[in-house]
Amino acid sequence: MTSSTLAPGLADAARLTPAEARSRFRAGLVTPTAGWSRGYAQANLIAVPREYAFDMLLFAQRNPKPCPVLGVLDAGEVAGPLLAGGDVRTDLPLYTVYADGEKVTDTPDVREHWRDDLVAFLVGCSFTFETALQDAGIRIAHIAQGTNVPMYRTTRRCASAGALSGPLVVSMRPIPAGQVADAVRITSRYPAVHGAPVHVGDPGALGIRDLDAPDFGDPVAIGPGELPVFWACGVTPQAAVMESRPPLAIGHAPGHMLVTDVKDAAYQVP
């Protein structure tokens, strides 16, 4: 099958079960996953060799806003409760492979790059709370456009951990001024998937020079009366990999997430 025959329309993608979505990606479909399997949480992936696993978990512990850990697959494991019967090496639509911090390839199947000593971290993703935002009448620009969410490196530094250091990466959604408070209130109820925004408004304060040139994903238009709102992003561990240069690391390609079997609501707090 080619990507085009596998690709559902947006409404159909929203209705797929997580297992169905993963089977499409396993079969070769490459697409950003925002809007897929509505009501189910999505996750970032970062896998590093066992000798870097403590530093990565500590990096996450020290930077819980960008790196909320939803699950860890021990060295040698490729499935777990977040992806029952799945395979973390094939079930995401697209991966990025790094050697010594440099991108080697983007590929939809990383079995040939995987090693038995890789520990895979599954990290919360802000796509998880987009359903709640939509339910409150907030339009998600990148879903409406059918593009990937824009993501930016910032000049804000994460707390380092052992061999790992790097900048905070953020995702951005334009929000009408009158809905910013709702967006904050709603997303703050999802601390395990980045929670409340880290910044509202002026991108320059985060060191972002040009919203139209995201470091990852696609630009979106900011309409009149809308503010750019920035959430911590689970690409942050990959930025740490790029800076800290472990010999091998495998991440999801930004925006191309693991669709998990866990409902969004499981990550909601009162």
Nearer to a second copy, 196 or 198 (CB): 196
Buried b / exposed e along 9-24 (16+ C-beta atoms within 10 A): eeeebbebebeebbbb
Residues of this chain that bind a second copy (CB under 8 A): 50, 53-54, 57-58, 61-62, 69, 72, 74, 119, 161-162
As measured in angstroms, the least distance from the Cβ of 207 to a second copy is: 25
- Rank residues 16 and 45 by Cβ distance to a second copy and give the closer one: 45
Q: Which amino acid is at 86?
A: G
Of 53 and 94, which CB lies nearer to a second copy in the complex structure?
53
Rounded-to-integer distance, Cα 58 and Cα 162, Å: 8
Based on the number of CB atoms within 10 Å of its own CB, is 232 exposed (0-12), middle (13-18) or buried (19 or more)?
buried
Cβ closest to a second copy, residue 144 vs residue 181: 181
Using the minimum distance from each CB to a second copy, give the nearer residue, 80 or 108. 80
Q: Which is nearer to a second copy, 182 or 215 (CB)?
A: 182
Rounded distance between C-alpha atoms, residue 53 and residue 72, angstroms = 10
**Rg over CA atoms, the chain:** 17
Contact 108, 250 (CB under 8 A): no
Token representation of residue 56? 């990565």
How many residues comprise the chain? 270
User: What's the rounded Cα separation, in Å, for the pair 29 and 178?
Assistant: 37
Q: How far is the CB of 58 from a second copy (least distance, A)?
A: 6
Burial category of 98 from C-beta neighbours within 10 Å (exposed 0-12, middle 13-18, buried 19 and up): buried
**In Å, how far from its chain's centre is CA 253?**
9
3-state secondary structure 58-100: HHHHHCCCCCCEEEEECCCCCCECCECCCCCCCCCCCEEEEEC
Distance of closest approach, residue 80 Cβ to a second copy, in angstroms: 11
Q: Closest CB to a second copy among 57 and 200?
A: 57
Toward a second copy, which CB reaches closer, 76 or 146?
A: 76
Q: What Cα–Cα distance (Å) separates residue 239 from each residue in 116, 122, 225, 263? A: 23, 16, 32, 28
